[in-house]
Structure 1
């Protein structure tokens, strides 16, 4: 459970907050709602508007820091380390609020480290501004759930057993063959990453909770896998070779709504490989705005 105090914040190799020489003095924009992009149109010759769905713009996070050192030389080292860690970026990087179970992706767009000769002995201040093109707030924990395919052609089911865990990832139970439940504990829809491991022909993923489904017109041999990123709509064979054309026209890209989401996985067994299970793995983070 998150707590009201900010606690520790990690940016790259630097940690701000308790136990570090960088004290967090203020943070703005984290719990605020980003600017709304409204789709409202005035009603001709009538009072009011026609209103469409509200979407948000980027999130702007402002972070105030206090620097604490034992000597002017050490204070200078803290300043240089902070400067080195906040260079212009090509891609967003994770900002982790370790005690709030919150993750955002941003770029440092402003950095202010004032020099005050009257007070600059062992203490200093700094201000950072992060531009988060993706305004969502994610859980630090990455959740994952898997199931084998229900294959009418094979006429069999394959129970799944976990033998270990990956640090930082929470696993759901496998449930019955061909079905899994993904629980999004956030307040906004989450974009899952789907991995399909062969052997399987024409796999499909049905979102039972909301209807609709994603159908792949392709075949995966034993040892082959397909990664589907529902946010970017990238479909990659073996994680690198584009196969976007395999997505059948009219398919619906799954979104995990807040709360439990039931997904059904089906596929056709390959000749000679009916005894080998195909596996669907769904990975996501709790998501809010």
Structure 2
């Protein structure tokens, strides 16, 4: 049986794999399940455990490379370029598997570029280890879908026309509803952008029944960003407004498959129809 082609791997400005001087000779940890943090407790006086939900620890990806230079000086240049691209980091960055269309977010935690005098004329080896505090494997394509709000007082309006800009867009919403498809195997945490004018905007994940409501009013030109993973609510993209979230709200996540999302809000007095826009952005997500 033929094996799946790994293809090229992108890390910052460096590309590894076919067509590059960095041959990929080994890869571990991308398709492996990270270590499980089990929430099990013993059954007192009985056999077995009470089992709880399983959570994963961080993902560790190990990459082995073969360096192929044209001369000793070229090999040295390849080693220096690899060393410079794998310095300690403050924040994770994308390790992208281009042909497979997926990525992880990682930091370089180990690097080995050994000296081997027997082969040092033009070939060498290297090993890299990437620590991914976020264990999810994400699709490279950022998906996006938008709809205007449905307000009984304002009637029904339809989404603005938008064009692609390096993203894949979902189907246009009608009457304040869109369908967001997560082609991964794990729940995806979307980023929500709500543009005014609107009062008391509410985002409902119809598929699960979760409802997130903001006790806020957004004027024309104002917006709020909601990160459902970190639960940050940022007015105009920077000012924290977590207090706007109504008590009892639940944070929507995109389950594997199709997810129906409804957007509702009250029209502002004097506003010409309900033109508030909800934009949902996500990536396919798996463990």
TM interval, shorter chain, is: over 0.9
- Structure 1 segment 35-114 matched on structure 2, within 5 A: 35-114=35-114
Q: For structure 2, list consecutive stretches of 5 or more residues without a partner in the other structure.
A: none
Structure 1: 4+ residue segments shifted above 6 A:
none
C-alpha distance after superposition, 1:224-264 (max 9, x if no partner): 11100001111111111111110011100001000000111
- Structure 1 segment 1-289 matched on structure 2, within 5 A: 4-154=4-154, 156-167=155-166, 169-289=167-287
Q: Structure 2 vs 1, CA of residues 276 and 265 (structure 1 numbering), >3 Å: closer, same or farther?
A: closer
User: What is the root-mean-square deviation of aligned Cα atoms in Å?
Assistant: 1.0
Cα deviation for residue 159 of structure 1 reads 1.6
Cα deviation for residue 158 of structure 1 reads 1.3
TM-score (norm 1): 0.97
Counterparts of 1:274 and 1:39 in 2: how far apart (Å)? 53
Cα deviation for residue 173 of structure 1 reads 1.3
Counterparts of 2:250 and 2:78 in 1: how far apart (Å)? 50
Cα deviation for residue 164 of structure 1 reads 1.6
Counterparts of 1:151 and 1:162 in 2: how far apart (Å)? 20
C-alpha distance after superposition, 1:44-79 (max 9, x if no partner): 111110000000000000000000110010111100
Q: For structure 1, list consecutive stretches of 5 or more residues without a partner in the other structure.
A: none
Cα deviation for residue 161 of structure 1 reads 4.4
* Other structure's SS at 1:46 match: coil
Counterparts of 2:119 and 2:174 in 1: how far apart (Å)? 66
Are 2:148 and 2:274, in contact at CA under 8 Å, matched by a contact in 1?
no
* Other structure's SS at 1:232 match: coil
Cα deviation for residue 124 of structure 1 reads 0.5
Counterparts of 1:282 and 1:252 in 2: how far apart (Å)? 16
TM-score (norm 2): 0.98
Counterparts of 1:38 and 1:276 in 2: how far apart (Å)? 47
Counterparts of 2:249 and 2:162 in 1: how far apart (Å)? 34
